[in-house]
Amino acid sequence: MRLKGAQILIKALLEEGVDTIFGYPGGVVLDIYDELHKGQLRHILVRHEQGAAHAADGYARASGKAGVCLVTSGPGATNTVTGIATAYMDSIPLVVFTGQVSTALIGSDAFQEADITGITRPCTKHNYIVRRTEDLARTIKEAFYIARCGRPGPVLVDLPKDVAQGMAEYAPPEASPASFREPSYLPDTEALRQVIGMLRQAKRPVILTGGGIILGRASEDLRKFVRTTGVPITSTLMGLGAYPGTDPLWLGMPGMHGTYYANMAVSHADLIIAIGVRFDDRVTGRLSDFASQAKIVHIDIDPASINKNVLVDLPVVGDSRTVLHQLNQMLEQEKEAVPADDLRAWLRQIKEWKEYAPLFYGTGEKIKPQCVIETLYRLTGGEAVVATEVGQNQMWTAQFYHFNRPNQFLTSGGLGTMGYGFPAAIGAQIACPDRTVLDIAGDGSIQMNIQELATAVNYNVPVKVVILNNGFLGMVRQWQEIFYGRRYSHTNISQVPDFVKLAEAYGATGLRATRPEEMETVLKKGLETPGPVFMDMVVDPEEGVYPMVGPGAALTEMDLGRKNG
């Protein structure tokens, strides 16, 4: 069947099971938009291309499917770069289609021309420029395959205008592109036997999980593994929700703003089984002191992650779900996976640490941001899908919203992109129309993609945005307070818009709480109000995130905050 390039694109997307794309039209993608006009595919019109990339990312994280966006050439394409880099750092499967000037014009500095494959080479898993309409279908197939397989990531496909306009014979391509090697999902059985052997000898074991559990859909197998072994578990920011945050074996998050007991447990462990983590500097603290008493097993699908930052004792390359499934099978023959007496003593020690320094916050005349998160947790029954921006809002959410299931927490962990949360929440709400979707924001970060409020109102996407409004770029202010002698250089942003009026101006609902006693009522009302809602929480301006491990310090060197510290 002979089809136009634009038709092939839509057909190929439908073949891939895509139901929704996020995009913004422009000159060179007019043929594609004309095809979209037939309505075979749901297209969400964002208000800025960065929003399209983040929304596709939020859709991907909440649904576990690949997110798709479509933008025009030049500025349309370059505006997606932050969103692509965000997805790349967090290994999120995205397929980004960018328009390009006609092949004959490429390299001539044509109007709205940008070398987007060149620009995104270091922040995509792979990218393509399609030069012939007959290559389009196969390229799309490969792009989706690469985005999803192994360690997922964003793939960009650049589409020159004449490729979308040209005609070619269309036949759905082969299931798996022959030109690309399948990554190795199957672990080495001998290595797994060694893991079991190391567990058998461990006195103070800790399981450390990350985003790889969620991406690998290994949550059920992980829960079984923890139940069978009885080993306490901590997870990086990216892995929150893979293990229930309410379980007694749960230690909370380790690292710079991790819990005292998670950091103490990691630092005193004699065995760490790390699964789907990449040992980011925010997690390890000073590398030379990280888990210095422990043997480290590192299980990851990406061989390049292993021995990258932390040298490990036992590397296991494999898919997290397959590895955990096989470990669970091997453990069925074991009477006692970990020596029970030693484990009991270890858990007792951890309990003492938990009692010595639980997460806490004070009370006062102003609303405490941590209390906002705890109240939201209670009001939503811990069931909401929660996106965050970046900074204090992100850390408080990670600490005080106890995530219980995977794909529930959406945050820019690697790149740390302010402006991520709101469009990501919109994407997540579109993927999960029946769930409550929150964006926990700061007054700084919400202004970075606030134009997407028009998108939310346009499509009646009922995202609830809770702004922890402290009049500061709070996390940077906190660093200035601690490390720069309270010289608050350019972090005071108290000149903010009236968020209530702003929400109303866009056609959304705006609510505000300024006193602790109003807070719960406003949150409740906001959650019950249909459609998109902004809740402006005027919080204690100089509240900090604690515990805190300073940059370059060891995980044991924690500032526990004003009360204990």
Partner 1 sequence: MEVKEHKMTLLVNNKPDVLARIAGIFSGKGFNIESISANVTLDPEITKITLVTRGNTATVGKIEKQLRKLVDVLEFNLAGNDRTILREMVLVRVPYLEENREKIRKDIENFHCRTLRMESDHCILEVTGTLEEIDWVLKGLKPLGIEDLSRSGIIFLK
Residue 112 appears among annotated catalytic residues: yes
| Interaction between residue 121 and partner 1 (CB under 8 A) | yes
Q: CA 93 to CA 62: how far, in whole Å?
A: 12
Count the site residues for partner 1 by CB under 8 A: 14
Helix (H) or strand (E) holding 31: helix 30-36
Least distance CB 180 / partner 1 (angstroms): 6
The least distance separating partner 1 from the CB of residue 311, rounded to whole angstroms, comes to 9
**Options 31-39, 115-123, 357-365, 400-408: segment touching partner 1 (CB under 8 A):** 115-123
**Which of 111, 180, 360, 483 is labelled catalytic?**
111
Distance CA 254, CA 399 (A): 10
CB of 124 to partner 1, least distance (A): 10
Which of 264, 448, 475, 519 is catalytic? The answer is 475
Task: Round to whole Å and give the CA distance between 141 and 18.
Answer: 12
Give, in degrees to the nearest 5, the angle at Cα 154 between 7 and 59: 75
**Residue 264 CB partners (closer than 8 Å, separation 6+):** 350, 353, 556
Give the interface segment with partner 1, choosing from 217-225, 302-310, 382-390, 451-459 (CB under 8 A). Answer: 302-310
CB of 563 to partner 1, least distance (A): 43
Tokens of 564: 């204990």
Based on CB atoms, which residue is closest to partner 1, 302 or 520? 302
Quick one: which of 75, 107, 118, 172 contacts partner 1 (CB under 8 A)? Answer: 118
Catalytic residue among 112, 165, 194, 451: 112
Closest CA to 330 of 191, 470, 468, 429: 191
CA distance 31 to 165: 7
Q: What are phi and psi of 151, to 5 degrees?
A: -85, 110
**Residue closer to partner 1 (CB basis): 7 or 127:** 127
CB of 149 to partner 1, least distance (A): 11
198 and 331 Cβ atoms separated by less than 8 Å: no
Give least dist CB 178 to partner 1, A: 12
Site string for partner 1, 456-485 (x = CB under 8 A): ------------------------------
**Which of positions 175-214 make contact with partner 1 (CB under 8 A)?**
179-180
Strand partners, 158: 98, 129
Query: Of 126, 223, 295, 325, which one interacts with partner 1 (CB under 8 A)?
Result: 126
Catalytic site residue 161?
Answer: yes
- The CA–CA distances, whole Å, from 446 to 393, 409, 481, 534 equal 11, 18, 23, 10
From the list 171, 175, 178, 304, which residue makes contact with partner 1 (rule: CB under 8 A)? Answer: 304
| CA pair distance 215, 239, nearest whole angstrom | 9
Q: Among 50-58, 303-311, 374-382, 481-489, which window interacts with partner 1 (CB under 8 A)?
A: 303-311
Which residue, 188 or 247, has its beta carbon nearer to partner 1? 188
Catalytic residue selected from 161, 354, 368, 464: 161
> Per-residue contact track with partner 1, 308 to 337, x per CB under 8 A?
x-----------------------------
Establish if 303 lies at the interface with partner 1 (CB under 8 A).
Answer: yes
Q: Pairing mode, if any, of strands 42-45 and 67-71?
A: unpaired
- Cα(83)–Cα(79) distance, rounded to whole angstroms? 8
Query: 143 vs 537, which CB is nearer to partner 1?
Result: 143
Q: How far apart are CA 284 and CA 309, in angstroms?
A: 9
The 247-286 site mask, x for binding partner 1 (CB under 8 A), equals ----------------------------------------
- Closest separation in Å from C-beta 278 to partner 1: 13
Catalytic entry in 4, 7, 11, 49: 49
Instruction: In angstroms, give the least distance from the CB of 303 to partner 1.
Output: 5
122 binds partner 1 (CB under 8 A): yes
Task: Name the token pair of 257.
Answer: 């703003």
49 is catalytic: yes
Beta strands in 389-496 (DSSP E): 409-410, 437-442, 464-469
Q: Which of 32, 146, 372, 384 binds partner 1 (CB under 8 A)?
A: 146
- Distance between CA 147 and CA 145 in Å, rounded? 6
Q: Which is nearer to partner 1, 51 or 150 (CB)?
A: 150
Annotate 361-386 with DSSP letters as a single string. ----SSBPHHHHHHHHHHHTTT-SEE
Structure tokens, 112? 């709205």
- Nearer to partner 1 among residue 139 and residue 397 (C-beta): 139
Query: Among this protein's residues, is 475 annotated catalytic?
Result: yes
What is 82-105 written as a DSSP string?
Answer: HHHHHHHHTT--EEEEEEE--GGG
Q: How far is CA 513 from CA 167, 273, 366, 374, in A?
A: 58, 44, 10, 16
Q: Give the contact letters, 53-72, x = binds to partner 1 (CB under 8 A), - = no.
A: --------------------
User: Which residue stretch of 104-112, 119-127, 397-405, 549-557 sits at the interface with partner 1 (rule: CB under 8 A)?
Assistant: 119-127
Nearest partner of 393 among 369, 426, 366, 363, judged by Cα: 369
Active-site residues, by number, are: 49, 111-112, 161, 475
Positions touching partner 1 (CB under 8 A) are 117-118, 121-122, 125-126, 146, 179-180, 302-304, 307-308
